[in-house]
Structure formats: structure tokens, C-alpha cells
Amino acid sequence: MNCIVPAQNMKILSKAINALAKVGDEIYLEADEEKLTFTTLNMSKTVCSQCSFMKSFFSSYFVETKDSPGSAASTTCKLFMKSVLPLFKGNLEKKLEFLKVEYEKESDFILLKMKYKYDQIMMIHKLRLMDSETLSVGITPNSGVNNLCGNSSLFTQILSMFNLSDSEITLEIMNSRLVARNFYVGGATNPKLMRVEVKLSAGEFLIFDVKNNTNINFALRPLRTVISFAENFNLPIGLNFDSGGKPLTFLMKHPTFNLHFIVSTLNPNRDLQSSMASTSLPASTQRNNNLHISIEDQQALANENWDEFDLQNNQNNSFISMMNRASSTRSDVDGVVAVEKPNTLKKMNSLNLDDPHLKTNGDQYRDDADVISQSSDSPRDKRMKLIFSRCYEPTIVEPDLGKVYVGNSDSE
């Protein structure tokens, strides 16, 4: 392969390679008798970009034919994008006189010879090739039934309505209008996202041929790259698609070259139904039932010895029942039931509160409003009383009442 790019076409070649560099890290070169094609693919294989330069784009173009009869003349090789991109920075159309590309079959290198206008300088770049591979894209740019075409200024105005942080765009295409949104109806909402919706009529496009109404969702980054390239050369942008979930193609055509991006899309309606069907209501209900107990309390309940707790409650209940039988026996002897309750309270207040048998339940005999029934406790109440047991402990000690620790500072 031997071709020469004149200085007036260096800007087109430079912008095309920089646009391809925003998609993939590897660039494929394929040359036949009619055109030279650059192709790249991103890592996730969701965006494919291809730029073809016709034979008329070059001042000199020659490709060696194959020896076997009946086979098309084609030369393929693959390069690292990082090795090619630094050579096409700056205003090369003002510096270079021409660029010559030389490649021989079965070679491990490709030569790029740059002839500068001043001082007759010839700079030769020798780039090592990667493993020889051929990238075939099974999707043609005009495979869809729907076709849209508009000026680059129209798409620039649409893109200016959206934020730089927006990563996706949803298009709702109907027979008479197009609606562009940065969200899809019924999807998950982001409270920090400013919703944008732009409505365009069919008359604002150069071509508006829609056979089937559809909704498509795709990434905004390839569209930004396409608009940036089209603005430099005032090219119209065409959209070719079928329906949501099938590839979308951005087309830019010129008599000497063409560039197209093939982007994968999503169907918002289908994705919404699948996400709603996967929602589990029992899981959310189970999660809400545990909101009133903290993680520390749950760990404490799991590590607690409930057998010892039940044994302690049984001892306290037997002591209280014994005291109740003693008070009932005394009331039967005296024959007066109404007078026995205050006498019983006096006797309970005279007990020693330091007794370990009464330390837990000493507050039950001080006030009838604080009495907690021991016989009708459920397991849940027992756990709660164990956790909040310190809430029922006395906060005032009677011997400390009336004791003066610091005297009055005033003499009066």
C-alpha cells in the first residue's frame, strides 16, 4: 500500500483519527482498490466507529493486488491508538506539505512520512503493528427502516439543553415529532437530576422518515463526538435505526469520505417491565420489621442466656406469691380486707432494699402505678425489660436525703 494525503486534507484526517480515539484503544486499517478504512471498537463492544476515505481523497493511491485470481485486493493491519494519536495533534494542514503512508505485506511496521513546508524537513515515523487481525462488522449503516437527518447546528442546540453530567438520552420517535429526554418515564428518579425534555416537530429535520413509532435509549458520549466532528466541516447528521434494543447508526457523508458510529441501544419500556417484575415486596416488608431494634440490641438478645433469666423470674414470682399468701392470711384473721393493703405497703417499705432478692423488684412495692405484672409477661416483654432494666432502678437513695454536703456561703 502506498498513498499520499495532501496538506488541505490533513485536517479531515486528523479530526477523524481524534474522533476514533474517543471510542477505542486499537485501530484497524483495511485498504482495497477503492478506499482506505479506519475502524475501532470500544472495550465493551457497544460502540463501533468506522471512517472510510475514498480514492479521490488522496493525491496518490495504490494498493497491491493479490496473486490469486478472482479475489478482491485488500490489505489489513492493526495499530495501537496511543502510537498513532500523538502524530495528529495540532494544525498539521499549516505545517505539512503532504503525508505519505507506506506498508508492505507480511511486514511488521508501517511507515508514516511527513514532509514539512519549511526547511525541507522529512520526518519518518516507524510504527510497529499488532497481531494481524481483520475486524468485520455484521451491521450495515442503512439496515434500519427509520431515517432522520438534520443539520449539525440543530443537534448542537439539542445537546446544549442537557447537562454535561448526563450520560444517557432517551428518544421518543413518532410520525410527526421527536421528544428527547435525559430520563425515561417510569424509571428510577434521581432527586439531584434536573429533568430535561425537548420536543421537535418533523419540519425541523431535513429528512423525517419514520415507519414505526419507538423509544430508544443510548449513551450520550458517542453523540457528542459525532456532533463535534460534524461542526468542524458543517456536515449533516443522519440517524438510521429500527427500534429500541437494536443498533443505532449516526451517518456523516461527504463526496471524498464518510464517517459513521454504530451504537447499541436499549428499550426503556421493556427494561422498566423487567425491573418492576424483579422487585420483591416480602423482602422489603421483612426489612421494615427490624427497624425498631438496633444492631447492638439484636446482638445482645442473641447472646443472652434465657434459661437463667426464666429461672430468676420464677424465684421472684415464688417470693411474691408467698408474700401475697401471708397478707391474705392476715386479712382473714382480722376480718377487714380494706385495711390490709396500706399495712402491707408499710411492711414492704420497711424491708431492707439491699436484699438481693428484692433488689430487682423493690420498686414494685413503692407505687401502684409502677407495678409490673410478672405472670402475664410474654417472651418479647421479658426481653425488653432485660434490655431496659436500668430504667426501673431507683435514682434516689433515701439515706442521702436531708444530708448537707456543703454549707451556705452567705453569712446571712
Lowest mean pLDDT among 55-59, 87-91, 153-157: 87-91
pLDDT reported for residue 86: 92
Do 275 and 222 lie in a common domain?
yes
Do 244 and 202 lie in a common domain?
yes
Cβ-contact 29, 88 below 8 angstroms: no
To which residue does cell 434490655 refer?
Answer: 387
Please give the mean pLDDT across all residues of the chain: 75
Between 362 and 211, where is the model more confident?
211
Do 199 and 238 lie in a common domain?
yes
Per-residue pLDDT tens over the stretch 159-187? 999 988 888 999 999 988 999 998 877 66
Do 328 and 247 lie in a common domain?
no
Do 203 and 124 lie in a common domain?
no
Per-residue pLDDT tens over the stretch 16-27? 999 999 999 999
Q: Give domain status of residue 154, yes or no.
A: yes
> What is the distance between the alpha carbons of residues 390 and 258, in angstroms, rounded to a whole number?
81
To which residue does cell 500523538 refer?
Answer: 86
Q: Give domain status of residue 290, yes or no.
A: no
Q: At a CB cut-off of 8 Å and minimum separation 6, what does 173 contact?
A: 146, 148, 210, 213, 214, 215, 216
Which residues does residue 80 pair with via DSSP β-bridges, in sequence order?
26
Q: SS3 of 329, please?
A: helix
- Provide the residue range defining the domain that includes 120: 1-132
Q: Give domain status of residue 284, yes or no.
A: no
Q: Give domain status of residue 218, yes or no.
A: yes
Residue 66 sits in a domain whose CATH number is: 3.70.10.10
Do 68 and 32 lie in a common domain?
yes
Q: Give domain status of residue 23, yes or no.
A: yes
> What is the distance between the alpha carbons of residues 171 and 192, in angstroms, rounded to a whole number?
22
Do 127 and 151 lie in a common domain?
no
Count other Cβ atoms within 10 Å, centred on residue 375: 8
Q: Give domain status of residue 137, yes or no.
A: no
Q: Give domain status of residue 183, yes or no.
A: yes
For 170, phi then psi, to 5°, come to: -115, 130
Per-residue pLDDT tens over the stretch 244-295? 889 999 999 999 999 999 999 988 876 443 333 222 223 332 333 333 455 6
pLDDT reported for residue 306: 56
Q: Determine what percent of the chain is predicted with pLDDT higher than 70.
A: 65
Do 269 and 194 lie in a common domain?
yes
Q: Which residue, of 249, 279, 309, is where some domain finishes?
A: 279
The helix (H) or strand (E) run that includes residue 171 is strand 168-173
Q: SS3 of 35, please?
A: strand
Tally of structural domains, the chain: 3
pLDDT reported for residue 342: 43
Q: Give domain status of residue 404, yes or no.
A: no
Q: At a CB cut-off of 8 Å and minimum separation 6, what does 35 contact?
A: 52, 53, 54, 55
Do 72 and 102 lie in a common domain?
yes
Inter-CA distances, 256 with 142, 189, 259, Å: 19, 46, 11
pLDDT band at 386 (very low <50, low <70, confident <90, very high): confident
Q: Which residue, of 223, 245, 279, is where some domain finishes?
A: 279
Do 207 and 336 lie in a common domain?
no
Do 91 and 157 lie in a common domain?
no
Q: Taking the CA atoms of 210, 215, 216 and 221 in sequence, report the sign of the dihedral they define.
A: positive
pLDDT band at 77 (very low <50, low <70, confident <90, very high): confident
Do 327 and 272 lie in a common domain?
no
The cell for 403 is 444530708
